[in-house]
Amino acid sequence: MATITQLPSGRWRVQVRRKQSYASETFLRHEDARKWATAAEREVDLGRTPRRRGQATPTTFAHLVDLHIEDMREVGKVLRRSKRFTLNALKDQLGEVKLKGLTRECLIQFGKDRAREGAGPVTLSSDIGYLKLVLTHAAAVHGIDVDVQPVDLARVALKRLGLIGKSRARDRRPTKLELKRLLDYLDAKPQSLIPLARIVRFAIASAMRQEEICRICWSKVDTEQRVVLVQDRKDPREKDGNDQWVPLLNVGGLDALRLIRIQRKYVPLGDLIFPYNPRSVGAAFRRACKELKIENLHFHDLRHEATSRLFESGLRIEQVALVTGHRDWKMLKRYTHLRPQNLYRDRQRAASPQNFVMEAPVQYEVPMPASALPI
């Protein structure tokens, strides 16, 4: 029940004790205290948490998005670019919809509209996932009366309509000829602001993403152990604090440690080894491929190439995972595209290693300048 008492200051304090729940607020006017007490008791009876004074009851989906973003900021989890972009887009399209209006039919129509706008199955699947995240957060953290089941039903319907689906795993590896043409082209442009030829070679040697390449530091390189610390490495579960020591191997004709020693000559100041914007690196790579008419090759495909080379060199799954940073085989398998023509050679080497002469790898490395500084 509710108890309303007047304080020495003249204000009115209301306390609600009901069904093992407790809430209290202070008001200037007795009538405001009485109204809040009635509303708070009703919330408790419905199994919800009474809202604080001045805290508006969410009525639209936009309110729930704002509530989710504010809660994440409050606990120190700033939204990353992709999540922030998706939530803002959902807010633009569904923000004015009342909570009771988020029905199965409404969400199915939303999916159809997004598909007509050009959203693919993976993008729409992400939209529905974030929509459910916002609703679930509101119900679990704030006790807001929202129904999540229509989201699940809409997902099933959109999947049956072919509007939602999983991404197709890429299996694109550059051919030897494509790599040679690409590197010859980039080597012919030594005055470029971004040493893309060296970055491409290092990507294949290290299996790092372009963001990771542009983030590693001289101070985090251990030349004796041939490792470098990659901070906040991407991970499906948690990126922040996921620091990993990555081996700098000499596999497949490319020596990762030697490549960054070459880079030292060109970047004598600062701690970043490759002090370039990763987006600019990606844009430069796309321009080069377009100029050479190399189709459907992304910078991230170099990570696929690197992973496949590690397996082709004879490394085991757990050894390859130390380089790529994957924590389970299922994820690592997506980046592995072994060439069928290499299978016989690898089997022969495993059967009689003493009699097998490995074919010399194709060398894609530039010679180290004599003036290169040691790390």
The 8-class DSSP code of residue 341 comes to: G
- For residue 213, what are the CA distances in angstroms to 143, 217, 254? 44, 9, 16
109 and 212 assigned to the same domain: no
146 and 195 assigned to the same domain: no
Q: What is the pairing mode between strands 250-251 and 254-255?
A: antiparallel
Sheet containing 244-247: order of strands: 221-222, 227-230, 244-247
254 and 222 assigned to the same domain: yes
Q: Which residues of 48-84 are buried (b: 16+ CB within 10 A; e: fewer)?
A: bebbeeeeeebebbbbbbbbbbeebeeeeeeeeeeee
Residue 94 domain-assigned (yes or no): yes
pTM here? Answer: 0.61
- Residue 149 sits in which domain range? 61-160
Q: How many domains are contained in the chain?
A: 3
Chain length of the chain: 375
217 and 287 assigned to the same domain: yes
Q: Whole-angstrom Cα distance, residue 47 to residue 304? A: 51
66 and 208 assigned to the same domain: no
193 and 269 assigned to the same domain: yes
Q: Which of 125, 160, 195 is the last residue of a domain?
A: 160
215 and 319 assigned to the same domain: yes
Reference 247, options 234, 259, 256; nearest CA is 256
Residue 146 domain-assigned (yes or no): yes
Residue 170 domain-assigned (yes or no): no
Residue 54 domain-assigned (yes or no): no
pLDDT per residue of the chain (375 residues) written in tens, 0 to 9 = 688 888 888 888 888 887 777 777 887 788 888 887 888 787 777 776 666 654 556 789 998 998 898 888 877 787 877 888 999 999 999 999 999 999 999 999 999 999 999 888 989 999 999 999 999 998 888 778 889 999 999 999 999 999 998 766 677 889 999 999 999 999 998 778 899 999 999 999 999 999 999 999 999 999 999 999 998 887 655 566 678 999 999 987 899 999 999 998 888 889 999 999 999 999 999 999 999 999 999 999 999 899 888 888 888 888 888 898 887 666 676 655 555 555 455 545 545 544 433 333 334 444 444 334 445
Q: Whole-angstrom Cα distance, residue 249 to residue 226? A: 7
196 and 137 assigned to the same domain: no
